[in-house]
Structure 1
């Protein structure tokens, strides 16, 4: 009799232990699923990953095109307190002296042409960004959701900067050629670059405008990304809010 009762107790303990293990296991699974969903990974189903990727692509296209539209409009650089492109720092003392001798109008005209070149080049950015978004993989999208507030901007910089430089440069060059002494400046710059001097300041206007214009573009893309992450429904859509609003 005692043996039978002992056997029942043993079986009861086994059943109770199994039930506890199942309960804990289900709880752990539920918690893991929630973590995955919150991190943007979703569950293993492809439909969830596809929805996430679509939402991320939508947010990237929105943010990047807004940035490109802002900077490519007339005065997008020239009238901006943040993004206005000025002469290179090493040239500023010379520009100041020119202003003292009544040549400030010529200095302003050079800066105007620099900024107009950046604005015209920014038109090209939208198409490059859209192509980069279309080429994005699910892995890329999930990395952006899990990343920092500028993960999308970092993705754009990595995948588009080289192409943007190629598209921007001829537009900037063409605009700067309207400067009256452009050819003479290029000749002087070529001779200057060959001088055997160390720590020479960079006086290349074209490269200066190119670098400054792209820095401004990616900075504005970053600002748009932060705004979407902060208010995904107001600045994006319900699909974007479903991903970034968690």
Structure 2
């Protein structure tokens, strides 16, 4: 009977989506003691943790490199949208100085995000290490971003706590505040004439929130690769598990 079921599973594998394959793997492991896949539940989860760890390191590594944010349109920090009128006003400066200040500022906030992102991987990895068997199989059987959602739930508060002082140091290191003061001073000088309100924004919170959001976008991309691309299954355990459905 087991052989018949296994044959049906193998014959049907080519019709599975990536998510279906993950679900089938999880169901097979849950319903066996290792005789079908040659792996125990613990080994399957261990393989998943290892794969996610590699994905996390890849994603965080990309973000923390120079231009990791600035030259990646997916996660690049834009000029703070709540004060976009500042950018629009300065870019109309006929001397070109306003536009130059905006460009320097946008580079600065992305550099701050890149510096802070160096601290992300250990926080993500701690969350992965704390993953239970139940968590692991929920991820395997979940949506294409189930692991990302798990990490978002487990790490966001810690990331904010860790990132905030680092972002502040980065703001100081890359002189973002000085750049911001130049931008706002130039803009606020015009409000005296126009009668508009002066601007002020919490740069630390803005950069921290955007940096974390960008990291999760990269993590989600890495998760999708693991689910859909056999090449991204980076350890022997996952390769062995998936081979039962090849």
Query: Larger RCO: Structure 1 or Structure 2 (Cα < 8 Å, ≥ 6 residues apart)?
Result: 2
Q: Indicate whether the TM-score tops 0.5.
A: yes
Instruction: Report the equivalent of 2:114.
Output: 119
Q: Does 1:158 align with 2:153?
A: yes
Q: How does 1:226-237 map to 2 (within 5 A)?
A: 226-237=224-235
Are 1:78 and 1:112, in contact at CA under 8 Å, matched by a contact in 2?
yes
Which of 75, 79, 96 matches 1:83? 75
Against the structure 1 CA distance between its residues 117 and 43, is the aligned structure 2 distance closer, same or farther, given a 3 Å change threshold?
same
Q: How many residues align?
A: 205
**Deviation of residue 30 (structure 1)?**
5.4
Against the structure 1 CA distance between its residues 75 and 36, is the aligned structure 2 distance closer, same or farther, given a 3 Å change threshold?
closer
Are 1:40 and 1:142, in contact at CA under 8 Å, matched by a contact in 2?
no
Q: How does 1:1-246 map to 2 (within 5 A)?
A: 37=25, 39=27, 41-45=29-33, 48-101=40-93, 102=96, 103-177=98-172, 178=175, 179-180=177-178, 203-243=201-241, 246=245
**CA offsets, 1:52-99, max 9 Å, x none?**
111110111011111000000000001112211012112122112112
| TM-score, normalised relative to structure 2 | 0.73
- Please give the alpha-carbon distance, in whole angstroms, between the structure 2 residues aligned to 1:147 and 1:203: 38
Instruction: Tell me which moved more, 218-227 or 230-239.
Output: 230-239
3-state DSSP of counterpart to 2:30: coil
**Deviation of residue 182 (structure 1)?**
6.0
**Deviation of residue 38 (structure 1)?**
5.1
**Deviation of residue 122 (structure 1)?**
0.7
- Please give the alpha-carbon distance, in whole angstroms, between the structure 1 residues aligned to 2:145 and 2:154: 14
Are 2:102 and 2:183, in contact at CA under 8 Å, matched by a contact in 1?
no
Against the structure 1 CA distance between its residues 54 and 112, is the aligned structure 2 distance closer, same or farther, given a 3 Å change threshold?
same
Against the structure 1 CA distance between its residues 41 and 152, is the aligned structure 2 distance closer, same or farther, given a 3 Å change threshold?
same
**Deviation of residue 145 (structure 1)?**
0.8
3-state DSSP of counterpart to 1:92: helix
RMSD of equivalent CA atoms: 3.0
User: Which runs of 5 or more structure 2 residues have no equivalent in the other structure?
Assistant: 10-22, 185-198
Are 1:232 and 1:240, in contact at CA under 8 Å, matched by a contact in 2?
no
- Please give the alpha-carbon distance, in whole angstroms, between the structure 1 residues aligned to 2:200 and 2:144: 33
User: Which runs of 5 or more structure 1 residues have no equivalent in the other structure?
Assistant: 1-25, 187-200
Structure 1's consecutive aligned runs of 4 or more residues displaced over 4 angstroms after TM superposition are 34-38, 181-186
3-state DSSP of counterpart to 2:70: coil
**Deviation of residue 128 (structure 1)?**
0.8
